[in-house]
A and B are shown apart, each in its own frame.
Chain A
Amino acid sequence: MELTLRGVSHKVGAQQHLYPMDLRLTPNAVTVLLGATQAGKTTLMRLMAGLDRPSDGRVQVDGTDVTGWPVRKRDVAMVYQQFINYPSMTVRDNIASPLKLRGQLDRAAIRKRVDELADKLHIEMHLDKLPAQLSGGQQQRVALARALAKQAPLMLLDEPLVNLDYKLREELREELGQLFAAGQSTVVYATTEPAEALQLGGYTAVMDAGELLQYGPTAEVFHRPASLRVARAFSDPPMNLLIAQGFGDRLQLRPGLELALPGQGGVTVGVRASALRVTQQPGDLAIQGEVELAEISGSDTFVHARTEVGELVAQLTGVHDFELGAPLTLYLNAAHVHVFDAAGLLTRAPERRGAC
């Protein structure tokens, strides 16, 4: 289904929760709503679901104006942060409940559908248990299975994995990505984590302080953030932002440290943590500093350094040891930086190989 928002905004009293926005969700794909807490993600989802009415603007489903239609007239499935299941029903009955309500399938068909979904979400061995007998991750799988059982053309998920351990999150995210890719529903998935958006793929709408900043294919938005605000919202660790002075054919970070890139006047050079290296390659700029902390995530080491151009974070693959306070040289290639003009708009992004 195709969901379109036209000039939609939301006000509560004098407070503007959402500023007017236009958004056409790509049908039968996943759209990630990415933004910090208070960015307006949940407010926007409630408008999409019909739980709230926008203060202004229209909501259209497949060309039909549904603004103001109550939620029960919309065909929507929702999953929340908290695991919401019927506590007195077995897992099987929980998953079956939307199918029974609809009454289109006979008992055997419902049974078959529930078995399929339970298999997909790896809870087939728990079908006869009560939700309270399951772990948090399993309970959330039940809630997800129930939402999927509904086969609603629009599925809204509000940070569904936030309360789970990171390994479980990783597993479920992968499974969900595959289910969404099957393309049976238009899915909206809210998260605060850039990594989650990248792993789900699809499309991303970046939100900040009640504004929709950018919408497009997830990787495209990540690699070409339209503005500094988008770059800040869609980076973890934060993109390193360096003030530079443009002299026509070169950008000066400080006297003696220059990137051979065009630019005039005051600009901001954005350097993703992964663009900084500790090994030199031909043509690199060398930035001197010292280690503040090496954070190890398991697969990556994030080195926080105090350098001659300010605080920098470098992302290195694998586990690396650094003593606190040790001297460190970081290397940077001009081809790997973003440049934003004085108004904070993107003027240059690194070229990508293998871009689809």
Chain B
Amino acid sequence: MARIDLDLAHAYRPDPKADSDYALLPLKMSFEDGGAYALLGPSGCGKTTLLNIVSGLLRPSQGTVTFDGRDVTALTPQQRNIAQVFQFPVIYDTMTVAENLAFPLRNRGVAPDRIKARVGKIAEMLELNGQLNQRASGLSADAKQKISLGRGLVREDVSAVLFDEPLTVIDPHLKWQLRRKLKQIHNELKLTLIYVTHDQVEALTFADRIVVMTRGRAVQVGTAGELFERPSHRFVGHFIGSPGMNFLPAALDDRGGLSVADQPIAGLVDPVTGAALSRAEPFALGIRPEYVEVDDVGDGVAALPGTITGVVAQVQDIGTYWLLTAKVGPHTLKARLSAHAQPPGVGATVALRVLNPHTCFYGADERLVAGATAPAAPVSTAAAVPASSSAPEGLA
């Protein structure tokens, strides 16, 4: 096992200049010893390039890869002591399940009794112990991929185990069970695991920390909770969650008053946030649909603190929640309301509370400028709270 440090960039063409010349823009990143990591992003974001650089299948065009402080940039996967699991099962059909699992150990001259113990342990974890003496050739795709996973995990002395979309061939109904297995195995074995996927469920469920990538750039490394609560880049806010984060243009006036989508907002921006924002203009307000509170105000009600006014354009019954789409001038805002709430009708004028402890602000470079403002405006007085106030799902 090893701590892995990257300080590198990769371009497939010589002498890269523009950002678009890079498959992987210059990055500095560490994978802690024993951590479970996921590389997540849409196709073409550079995640497989990054994985291949860690494994040694690809040499970065600039910079270094170090394992526990040792420069391994020029070493092969074998020399780096990397185990890999691919999308499709890679096993020996003529061997039994036990022989397949033992193969990486036998190759390295591990003593037979140690092999037996280790194979037994891995087989038990993956629930393959009933099939140990069966030929691999007759097994289902699911079982074969479990053998591949087992072979990746069987050695105790590897620097890291790398997975490239390993659950692609698994039946959807069995996926969660394998995710659970992988998580349990990581808890027990404490191997350094790096897992590439474009599937947010897989990444967020499996990993302690997720590296979100887009266009050759790693834009955030964080826990599932951090990616949800404090996306450090607009792409993360958009990519994580369905639907993703709402963004509205915002501005500060000379006296520090905030306006969102050209509406002055009667809310409080604390001095620290205010100072950060005044340096970042122009900027955008970001809030997740789960955290937008919706009040049906009808006509002529004064703006509630922390809210802007919009008109309901669409109300969808998504079964487990209501998805409300509101127009705020030319902008669109989505809110997720509890299935037990009474949603306002299409065409209703609503107050949308967009300023609360979950609000984020983003600069013109799309990066997080400041997290939430001071505690959201106190829950309004009785007079200001209409009877049909719908609590957002995330705050319920």
Contacts and interface: CB of A to CB of B under 8 A. Distances in A.
Nearest to A336: B340
A274 B199 CA distance: 22
B317 A198 contact: yes
A287 interface: no
Nearest to A279: B396
B320 A272 contact: yes
B225 interface: yes
A352 B319 CA distance: 10
Nearest to A165: B42
Contacts of B289: 299
Interface centre among A296, A319, A324, A356 (most CB of B within 10 A): A296
Contacts of B228: 298, 318-319
B393 interface: yes
A199 B316 contact: yes
A295 interface: yes
Interface stretch (B119-127, B240-248, B257-265): B240-248
B204 A319 contact: yes
Contacts of B323: 199
A256 B44 CA distance: 55
Given A167-B42, A223-B319, A324-B180, A353 B224 contact: no
A317 B290 contact: yes
B179 interface: yes
Contact of A353 (B179, B340, B393): B340
A334 interface: no
Contacts of B288: 299
Nearest to B202: A295
Contact of B205 (A168, A219, A293, A315): A293
Given A272-B320, A293-B183, A321-B225, A354 B343 contact: yes
A324 B184 CA distance: 8
A297 B240 CA distance: 8
Interface in B313-365: 316-323, 336, 339-343
Contact of A170 (B180, B242, B316): B242
Nearest to B322: A354
Contacts of A167: 42, 238-239, 244
Interface residues of A, number: 38
B261 to A, nearest CB: 20
A97 B240 CA distance: 38
B135 interface: no
Contacts, number: 106
B385 interface: no
A317 B241 contact: no
Contacts of B179: 293, 295
A35 to B, nearest CB: 14
Nearest to A296: B204
Chain B binding surface SS class:
mixed
Interface in A217-231: 218-219, 222-223
A199 B205 CA distance: 24
Interface string A49-68: 00000000000000000000
B319 A165 contact: no
Given A166-B242, A317-B336, A318-B290, A219 B394 contact: no
B201 interface: yes
Interface string A172-199: 0000000000000000000000110011
B176 interface: yes
A27 interface: no
Contact of B394 (A273, A302, A317, A353): A317
Interface in A275-305: 292-299, 302, 304
A294 B322 CA distance: 23
Interface centre among B179, B199, B319 (most CB of A within 10 A): B319
B319 A295 contact: no
Interface in B139-193: 176, 179-180, 183-184, 187
A298 B241 contact: yes
A317 B224 CA distance: 13
Contact of B241 (A292, A299, A302): A299
A296 B205 contact: yes
A20 interface: no
Ranked 9 nearest A-B pairs via Cβ:
A296-B204, A274-B320, A219-B317, A293-B180, A319-B228, A298-B241, A317-B393, A299-B241, A354-B342
Interface of B: 42-44, 176, 179-180, 183-184, 187, 198-201, 204-205, 224-225, 227-229, 238-244, 288-290, 316-323, 336, 339-343, 393-394, 396
Given A223-B319, A299-B288, A319-B225, 7 more contacts: A167-B239, A170-B243, A274-B319, A292-B180, A296-B201, A297-B204, A318-B290
6 contacts: A165-B42, A198-B316, A201-B317, A319-B227, A319-B229, A354-B343
